[in-house]
A and B are shown apart, each in its own frame.
Chain A
């Protein structure tokens, strides 16, 4: 299920380095996964998605990896920039039913 708490995990990276944000999902029947980015005062913004019949998908500077065996999802951001600083959420969906969001990870980029 969802983890709950005021203290989100935080990842601090140096500008230009690569970032890896991890997510454990709970429903083995989930067939679609999405990563969202949420900046302060804004709604979540779609980054990249992946279906369960894939284990890797690449976008512009981002890659999502899916390991169904251990129910783990990761988001890799190449050459992290200050504008990437935000809270990142993974979300899972099972057969077109509602999206279930994880608790989120704060990404801080140091210049």
Chain B
């Protein structure tokens, strides 16, 4: 079974620029999550989708972050404009259904904002 795919793996941008990350979850997984992992910390949930609907985006900085999952499969996370403190690894995870606690994580995208 193929795992969660993410791209790009690395991205370096200057502050105030825009960036987008892409995630393809495991086939058949209805629930998709985006996490932010700052160096030295555990992952923090940014947004959770159930199919193409948002379940929880309470920790998403909506003034600069946006995410979509239009067809209920792939998802993109965008930051516009980026700040220095957005430097982190952005992890995508998926699970078969909500309430299924086991989440499968992708390799992440390491973002550096200079």
A interface residue numbers (CB < 8 A to B)? 2, 4-8, 32, 34, 41-46, 49, 89, 91, 93, 96-99, 101-104
Contact = CB atoms under 8 A, between A and B. Distances in A.
A44 B107 CA distance: 8
A89 B42 contact: yes
8 contacts: A2-B42, A2-B44, A5-B41, A44-B105, A89-B43, A96-B99, A101-B44, A104-B41
Given A32-B101, A96-B98, A99-B101, A91 B106 contact: no
Given A6-B40, A96-B98, A41 B107 contact: yes
A8 B56 CA distance: 29
Secondary structure at the A interface, as helix, strand, loop or mixed, is: loop
A36 to B, nearest CB: 8
A46 B41 contact: no
Given A5-B40, A5-B41, A101-B44, 18 more contacts: A2-B44, A4-B40, A4-B41, A6-B39, A6-B40, A34-B102, A43-B106, A44-B91, A45-B105, A49-B102, A89-B43, A93-B101, A96-B98, A96-B99, A97-B56, A98-B45, A98-B56, A103-B41
A102 B42 contact: yes
A9 B98 CA distance: 32
A41 B40 CA distance: 13
Interface of B: 4, 39-45, 48, 56, 91, 93, 98-99, 101-108
A42 B107 contact: yes
A93 B95 CA distance: 14
Contacts of A104: 40-42
A96 B48 CA distance: 12
- The 7 A-B pairs of least Cβ separation, nearest first, read A101-B42, A43-B105, A6-B40, A96-B99, A98-B45, A44-B105, A89-B42
A23 to B, nearest CB: 10
Contacts of B98: 96
Given A43-B4, A43-B107, A49-B101, A101 B39 contact: no
